[in-house]
Amino acid sequence: MTTALFPSAPRDRSRLVLVVGSGRSGTSSMSGTLKYLGLHVPQPEVQANKTNPRGFFEPEWVIDFTNDLLTACGINSSDARPTAVALAAGVARLEQHREQLRTWLGEALQQADRLVVKDPRTSWFQDIWIDAAHHHDVVPSFVTMLRHPAEVSSSRQTHYKSKEAPQERRAGTTLRVAGWVNLNLATELANRGERRVFVRYTDLLADWRATMCQVHERLDLASPPELDWSAPHEVDEFLDAGLRRHHIGWDDVDLPDGLRDLAEQVWRQLGVLVTSGGSDAAAEMALDELRDDYAAMYADAEAMARDAAQAAAGRAGPRKGTRSAKRRRAAKAAAYAGAATTGEAPGGG
């Protein structure tokens, strides 16, 4: 007997579900679950590796495309700079990139009419995906995965910075948490007003049926009618609590108090969007204020580190023109020394 766990919805329009949010937040788990529940990951897919042994569920083309966009705008996947938002937007506005994505999406829709696309770095470029979806009369939806910033920092350190020296840990944690704050603030603002849902990674692992029921309801996704939700399912094997290998809180990480407090406030306001169905005016206003607070905090940090940044860039030391003036004086002295030996005036012909 089939259990009507998910709502039935018209399937006369194509659908595109984008899984966004910070890396190491359960984006692969969500994308894989959606695939097991009937959505299609455009082929070919990125192969699993030791950092994600159960699979990434990412289209290879999308990874290459996002790499090109990141290179063009000069930002990284979890860039902590508030200016990263504008840099990404400038590149995404270029018609050549928009046409590339429209072409690829059109070809992907020939494979299937219900697609799930996951690459956490598309969080920086959501507008270009909305444009491509509308170009093909596709309904775009967003699933933003959330995981506590302390756990994300710890997971990223384990998988990507395993050789980080203990004396560098505070600086590394500070940068990773700052990147989490900046990316999540940018992600929320970019898909505000779109059809969206926010999901805690812990909720997905604890009760995927209830969580995915909410995802389907809020995104108006139709469930495959042939599935029996009262029976064991592939997702039971795919998801388990062991996937969450980092149980970390603020007491377990070392970073500036101000950044910790701001990150906690962002985490709590995003949590409101989890329970409110993806939209809450008060939470969105609070997130706007936190975005301003973060920009001010970052500007202060930049100001304090300006001398170090200039030294690292090789700009510290004598003022402009000093070295060239010294070289000119040395050359002139050498010329006069030569003149004293030969009896000729310097510069004479």
The 10s digit of each residue's pLDDT in 113-139 is 999 999 999 999 999 999 999 999 999
Using 70 as the pLDDT threshold, list the residues of the chain that sit under it.
1-12, 157-163, 224-227, 229, 241-246, 315-349
Q: Is residue 200 part of a domain?
A: yes
Q: From the CA atom positions of the chain, what is the Rg in Å?
A: 26
Specify the pTM.
0.84
Q: Strand runs (DSSP E) across the chain, as ranges?
A: 15-20, 114-118, 139-146, 195-200
Residue with tokens 């042994």: 53
Among 328, 192, 169, CA closest to 269? 192
How far CA 83 is from CA of 40, 124, 279, 319, in Å, comes to 34, 12, 25, 28
Mean confidence (pLDDT) of the chain: 86
The answer to whether the bond into 149 is cis (omega within 30° of 0) is no
Q: Determine the pLDDT at residue 161.
A: 59
Q: Is residue 320 part of a domain?
A: no
Note the pLDDT tens digit of each residue in 329-346. 566 555 544 544 444 444
For residue 253, what are the domain limits? 15-228+237-312
How far CA 24 is from CA of 120, 121, 156, 235, 240, in Å, comes to 9, 12, 7, 19, 16
14 close to 138: Cβ distance less than 8 angstroms: yes
What is the number of alpha carbons within 13 Å of residue 346 lying toward its C-beta? 9
Q: Is residue 183 part of a domain?
A: yes
Query: Count of H helices and E strands in the chain?
Result: 14, 4
Tokens in use for 123?
């969080």
Q: Is residue 8 part of a domain?
A: no
Q: Is residue 250 part of a domain?
A: yes
Q: Determine the pLDDT at residue 320.
A: 52
Q: Determine the pLDDT at residue 146.
A: 98
Q: Determine the pLDDT at residue 267.
A: 98
Total domain count, the chain: 1
The CATH number given to whatever domain includes residue 134 is 3.40.50
Q: Is residue 319 part of a domain?
A: no
Q: Is residue 98 part of a domain?
A: yes
| Alpha carbons 151 and 252: distance in angstroms, whole number | 10
Q: Is residue 82 part of a domain?
A: yes
Q: Determine the pLDDT at residue 231.
A: 77
Q: Determine the pLDDT at residue 169.
A: 86
